[in-house]
Chain A
Amino acid sequence: MSKQGHTFSVKRMQTHDGPGLRTTVFMKGCSLRCAWCHNPESLSGKAELWRNEPRCIGCGICALDDGSLTDHDNWNGDPAVIENCPAKALEPLRKDWSVEALLADLERDAAFFTKNGGITVSGGEPAMQWPFVAELLKGCREREWHTALDTCGAAPAEALDVLLPLCDLVLFDLKIMNSSNHRKWTGQGNEQILDNFCKTMAYATEHPELKIWIRTPLIPGATDGTENIEAIGHFLSNHWTDQIERWDLCAFNNLAVEKYQKMNMEWEFAETPLMERKHGEELLQTAIGALGPEKYDRVYLKGRMI
């Protein structure tokens, strides 16, 4: 097998991306451009690097010491630049793997995540690299590891056809129900996403072993309107199956500020404060109301609020 996959991070012992303890593989490259994105380094599929300023000792060896330089754009891909940095302040943002190498890396934590947990493939948008991800998930299946796919839904339909049968759990993002708003905030409408959601639910109906978790980011001014949450709730209600184990409302966090600085990117949420808990609780009630009060125990409010 010669397929190469590109990740921007592999995080071990995660607890937020599925049940139990998990290793999460974050694939690099995304189909959406959400204005609030917490992982700006995940957006482009290209090999990039950034300079971790606090580590830099200004030795000048890299010759990238021009403050105006956008390192990650201008790097020609020569790994020597990274290797020669004595302080390891230049950090590559993409790692390229063969499926075998990545599986071997995941194997190191297998003892920890096999009791209750497994592997989550997230992104970026993992389905953008679906041939690689499919091989990866097959490898996980062969090892009897629990598999989860964390998708924004903006992916070619054929990708889901291949990936869904390889998953025990799908974490599906539903962000904004109004398509033009969706376009405004994420760079594209939500038609493909909703089609893929229906496709996923249709598949799930025939495969009751597949579990679904829905995730909605609560972003101030973008997704946190009552009508939006209500609309997502109604939509979910219409497509409900009991396999939808939970719907997580994930409150905005502002921890990505530094990442945007390192990327030399503007972030329109740089100054946005955390959500007030009261507002979060109201949206939780809205969500429960729209979904159906009997499903109150499936909706969760998560994240730091004030």
Chain B
Amino acid sequence: MKTFDYTDTERIYAADLHNSNFKPNNRIKRLIDRRDWLAKNHKKDIYCDNAEFLIYHWSGKAETFAAATGEQAASEDERINIGDHTARVDVGGPFPYAAQMPSKVNGYEPTVTNWADDYAFFLRHSEAEVHPYEQIVGEFHWQLDEARYYKYPKSHADLGLVARELGAGGFSLAHCCPDLSIGLKLGWGGLLEKIRKNRNKHATYGNEKSVTYLDASEQVVLSVIDFVQRHGEKAAKLAETEMDPVKKESYELVAKNCANISYEPPKTYHEALQWIMLYMIVERVNGHGNGYGRFDQLLIPFYKADKAAGRIDRERARELLGEWYLKYGPHLSYGGRNEDGSDATNEMSWIGLEAYDLVGGYNQFGVQWHKDMDPDFFKYSCDVVGRHGCGVPALVNSDVLVASQLRTGFDEKHAMNTSYSGCQWYCIPGREYQDQDVNCIVLISPMQRAIDMAIEQGIEGWDGFWNLYCEEVDKSGEALVNFKNEAYKYHAQLWPEMITSLVSYGPIEKGRDITDFDSVDYNYPSVNVLGVPNVVDSMYALKKAVFEDRKFSLKQVRDACECDWTGEGEEIIRQVLLNLPKFGNDEDGVDAMAIQISEQVREVMEAKRSIKGGHFRTSLFQYQGHTVAGPYLGATPDGRKRKEPLAHGMNPMHGRNRAGMTATANSFCKLDFAKYQGGSFQIELHPSYFAEDADRGELVDQFAQTFFEKGGVQINLNVFDLEDLKDAYDHPEKDEYDDIVVKVTGYSAHFTKMDRQFQKEFITRVNYKSL
């Protein structure tokens, strides 16, 4: 089936979300079915070039994720499917007007003007998609990098290869969080006027650079206004001839809403949701997305006004937000605190969760717990994640997020407004651009260099070895900083983020893109660290078996690693190293090593500055490199074989957490997460963990609250039977598993649609049971 078929109503209406507390109406059922159909038919996949991209977050080919089509597309046999983690809807083939792009016709230049000309052309040639039964519209099929040249100068790539050699890499694109309240208040017309006003201001002072930027920005906004208008016009036209009353009514609603918001700001809840949806579309065509902030705070004024005027009730609000999720449920947040510290939970927070409860499946939002949160709301959040079992919502400790922002140097008033915005990261909406989740240091690499050097230099003691390790970590960090700084020199001109800039604090006022120097308030680049638990386990094993007990020499261990433990007697060495205490079992000795290793890399990065001014922030997380890195890095002294994956984020290495999830939780919480930029705890629960009549919400609530009180920062909780996933992996032809959605690392995806390598890693995880 090439396109989705709306006519099989018997099948669609029969579909029931058995886990839901709310019953979707037939219109929503059709839209749920279309969402699932798109995912199952690989219409929502996102790709990267190759394994190196996942490991180092830079492939050396594409500058970010791989373009799906066009000249810069990755080769089909090399690219890796990260899962249905995108808003893009694949309709096959390249962007039809790629050859007519202004930069192709008139010449390419890495400037904001050249970029904006392309963007405006691209959007004006993007079709307004209005599908039957939809009351919120917006969809895109191509990204700008499928049509516009996207490459940094060679000097950048050269530094990238140096960094790669030392185990580091990264890109810069999106991964921040605009403040949508700016746009909801001004509308596209208000934003246009703001641009013009600021342009004139800068013109008065002869600030040409800002004038150029704002002129470019004006082109972009005009194309957006046209894009929104065309949705309204198309819907109006469809309404004219439509006979089916539900479809007709839907088209009419879309026509009215889009006409209302093409220039003016949204006035109703429904218009606000439509505004955000189209905002998201025009932003994400730029290549990737952002988090979208505190949704309950953004929507509550609209909901309240509608309710007071009798225009809406809770059920309708739930239905519309559920529909909004079905298009693409991005990272955003509910809960948290108000600026004065009080609980920010409101009726919209409830509707946000209920809307997910209505439509289920794939989604990315998080709930920000804090000590003073409405306990019923948090319990409901836990109930939803336990009942649906798809890792939605992510449970996040708001107080730790705020503490970490404050520690970094943020204003308290701003920090209180922090919003969970991506897999493991969080932002102050509209005020930061920090490369969240896109830079990486592979910590295995400096460790391996230190081992080689220690052998060469005949180092006998642990302290000497540790000093070498510290020096090598510093070299990796330095290489990353040099590489990133080279990117920052070009970023704002080469690939600006004008849509995001519109709804942030500073870019329009200053006439500088959000990616530019001195634009938004906070620029502390984030860096993911891959393989921390493996380095912890390895270093602990070396310390014990080599430097203290002298069971083996460092050379013996290194040589055994090099031949993947295949030499004579090396399996015994491996077993001895493997069976020493490992991180994640609440054992103080090795857990202390976890603190030492994490603190060391954090201190190294904190001591370094980007040319934008801020220090680097360490994140104890890396989203997918662990699945493919094994063969590239070789065996490690923790007893890991070459082909095995690395540990996922800060989670204990697969199969090594043997003392149960509370022990792992205790190990986690020995780290001070306020010092890091995230470090999620991933839990895969077997359904039998809960007794048939158990109150899942109650149990998850109890665990999560305790975890957070101990200082944990984030829980991603899946409920599934690993045996099912193993069977799904072994039998890709079986379609009975197509509905299984899992929280992969910090994002959700359909299990059977992920790359097989990812699936394989997933099924080696510990599935906590209770028998």
Contacts and interface: CB of A to CB of B under 8 A. Distances in A.
B702 A115 contact: yes
Given A111-B706, A116-B698, A15 B770 contact: yes
Contacts of A109: 662, 666
Nearest to B577: A86
B660 A13 contact: yes
B572 A115 contact: no
A13 B703 contact: yes
Contact of B691 (A87, A253, A255, A302): A302
Interface in B571-589: 571-572, 575-576, 578-579, 586
Given A13-B661, A16-B770, A59-B572, A111 B690 contact: no
Nearest to B771: A255
Interface in A105-126: 108-109, 111-112, 115-117
Nearest to A109: B662
B663 interface: yes
Interface of B is mostly: helix
Interface in A48-105: 57, 59, 61, 86-88
Contacts of B563: none
A115 B706 contact: yes
B579 A20 contact: no
Interface in B286-331: none
Contacts of B698: 20, 116
Main secondary structure of the interface of A (DSSP, over half): loop
Given A14-B770, A15-B770, A88 B579 contact: yes
A108 B699 contact: no
B555 interface: no
Nearest to B578: A87
B414 interface: no
Interface in B657-709: 659-663, 665-666, 688-694, 698-699, 702-703, 705-706, 709
Contacts of B665: 112
B710 interface: yes
A115 B382 CA distance: 15
A300 B662 CA distance: 28
Interface string A11-28: 111111000110000000
B662 A13 contact: yes
B20 to A, nearest CB: 23
A304 interface: yes
Nearest to B586: A108
Contacts of B771: 16, 253, 255
A15 B690 contact: yes
Size class of the contact patch on chain A: 20 to 34
Interface in B556-598: 571-572, 575-576, 578-579, 586
A112 B694 contact: no
A112 B662 contact: yes
B570 to A, nearest CB: 11
A11 B692 CA distance: 20
A61 B578 CA distance: 17
A87 B575 contact: yes
B710 A21 contact: no
Nearest to B710: A111
Nearest to B705: A115
A304 B688 contact: yes
A116 B660 contact: no
A61 B576 CA distance: 13
Contacts of B690: 15
Contacts of B579: 86-88
Contact of B572 (A14, A86, A88, A300): A86
A15 B576 CA distance: 34
Nearest to A115: B702
Nearest to B661: A13
Contacts of B768: 13
A61 B688 CA distance: 38
A266 to B, nearest CB: 22
Interface string B501-519: 0000000000000000000
10 contacts: A12-B662, A13-B662, A16-B691, A16-B771, A57-B572, A86-B572, A87-B575, A109-B662, A112-B703, A304-B688
Interface of B: 571-572, 575-576, 578-579, 586, 659-663, 665-666, 688-694, 698-699, 702-703, 705-706, 709-710, 768, 770-771
